[in-house]
Amino acid sequence: MSKKIQDLTKLSDQSMVEASRRVGKNLGIAQKKLIEALPEYDKAPSEKVFQGENNSFIILGRDRPNNAYSGYGGRGATGAGRIDLIAGLSSANIVDKQKQNPNFAMDGARVYISQMADIDRYMGLAAVPRQAPPGRSTVGIKADTLRFHARQDIKIVTGRAKFEGLGKSGETLSNGGKNETPGTISLIAGNYTDEEEGGLFNMLNPLKKLKGDRNKLQPIPKGENLSECLAAIVDSIARLAALVGDNTSLISKMDLALAAHTHLVAPLPTPPFPPVALAPSSYTPVTSLVQTKTVASTIERQLFNKNLETLKINYLNENFGAVYINSKHVFTT
């Protein structure tokens, strides 16, 4: 159940609000002037602040996620310009008659543009593989909900842009450094990427689960590679089924031959009986067939095992697989 909407007018300037309501003024209907509880922004000396009448701000200054001592601007760093767009400064905790610092945890909605920042730390985000080092230019966006809607395409791209005339190294980082890695894309639900305890079902012992920690954040499979891998596995299962079928057929033929086979019976002393020889004529061909099929089956089994190893290398080996099924750059929880 969602929380009841908080009446911010009860937090400050209550007497003025009540007086305005009694005379029917400043009720905000049809976008007219509205009196409500508003925090006072704690402006730093280097900042230019453009403030609206209803807790909205455009702040031009240096990198500052929170108080005046925070971020690279608080350290006196150069090359750390910032544009901060805030709608609802400290809206989660408006304090009457007290100056407020910007705060990613408390502000209603915020677009943070900085020339130099440690944005994941500022926003309290979980770590990811091959995460970009600190001190990078950034655009951080935070609100209760975010919507990205394109009537045609949305692209989420990492790495260098395709520009001409930028030399051998191509597009550089914002500080002029080489941009040598494509970076990663991480889709994290719950802001949690630590390892989690495994709990696989054990068919042989249903009351006991197979334990073992596994990564919460895992690479996303590539659809075409995964499809090829599954097709190769299905083909391998079909070849295995054929081998099993051949063996079953040979065992059946051997069983029939052995059932029909008899040995010579020694003659009784008296009266003399002719020896009985009932060995079927088909016995020798069956034995020859079994020997031939056994050799062929052994060769086929060796080839089958080699194919399985090749399949594992091509599709399931992260370092050497030519068509590794997982993405090396896109991860999700």
Instruction: Give the model confidence (pLDDT) of 121-176 as tens digits.
Output: 999 999 888 788 899 999 999 999 999 999 999 999 988 888 878 887 788 888 88
**The pLDDT of residue 268 is above 70:** no
**The pLDDT of residue 52 is above 60:** yes
Mean pLDDT of 218-232: 88
Do residues 264 and 277 make contact, with C-beta atoms less than 8 angstroms apart?
yes
pLDDT confidence tier of residue 112, bands split at 50, 70 and 90: very high
Q: Rounded distance, CA 115 to CA 78, Å?
A: 10
pLDDT confidence tier of residue 4, bands split at 50, 70 and 90: very low
**The pLDDT of residue 8 is above 60:** no
pLDDT confidence tier of residue 109, bands split at 50, 70 and 90: very high
Do residues 68 and 99 make contact, with C-beta atoms less than 8 angstroms apart?
no
**The pLDDT of residue 247 is above 80:** no
Helix ranges restricted to H, the chain: 14-22, 71-74, 119-123, 223-260, 283-316
Mean pLDDT of 252-258: 72
Mean pLDDT of 106-119: 97
Mean pLDDT of 285-301: 71
Mean pLDDT of 102-124: 96
**The pLDDT of residue 21 is above 80:** no
Do residues 81 and 112 make contact, with C-beta atoms less than 8 angstroms apart?
no
Q: Rounded distance, CA 97 to CA 13, Å?
A: 9
Dihedral sign for Cα 54, 58, 59, 63, please.
positive
Q: Rounded distance, CA 144 to CA 137, Å?
A: 24
pLDDT of residue 15: 66
Q: Is the peptide bond before 133 cis (omega within 30 degrees of 0)?
A: no
**The pLDDT of residue 10 is above 90:** no
N- to C-terminal Cα separation, the chain: 25
**The pLDDT of residue 326 is above 60:** yes
| Mean pLDDT lowest among 186-195, 225-234, 257-266 | 257-266
> Which neighbouring-strand residues pair with 114?
82, 138
Mean pLDDT of 5-12: 45
**The pLDDT of residue 251 is above 80:** no
pLDDT confidence tier of residue 17, bands split at 50, 70 and 90: low
Q: Rounded distance, CA 17 to CA 185, Å?
A: 48
Q: Rounded distance, CA 212 to CA 197, Å?
A: 6
pLDDT of residue 254: 72
Do residues 113 and 139 make contact, with C-beta atoms less than 8 angstroms apart?
yes
Residue from 223, 242, 215, 224 nearest 304 by CA: 242
pLDDT of residue 23: 65
Q: Rounded distance, CA 173 to CA 178, Å?
A: 6
The burial class, CB within 10 Å (0-12 / 13-18 / 19+), for 112 is: buried
* Percent over 70 (pLDDT), the chain: 78
pLDDT of residue 11: 47
Q: What's the mean pLDDT when you consider all of the chain?
A: 82
CB atoms within 10 A of CB 170: 16
| Mean pLDDT lowest among 53-67, 174-188, 215-229, 281-295 | 281-295
pLDDT of residue 165: 81
Q: Rounded distance, CA 41 to CA 64, Å?
A: 13
**The pLDDT of residue 276 is above 60:** no
The residue extents of the domains of the chain are: 8-26+37-144+153-183, 223-263+276-332
**The pLDDT of residue 75 is above 70:** yes
Phi, psi of 111, rounded to the nearest 5 degrees: -115, 115
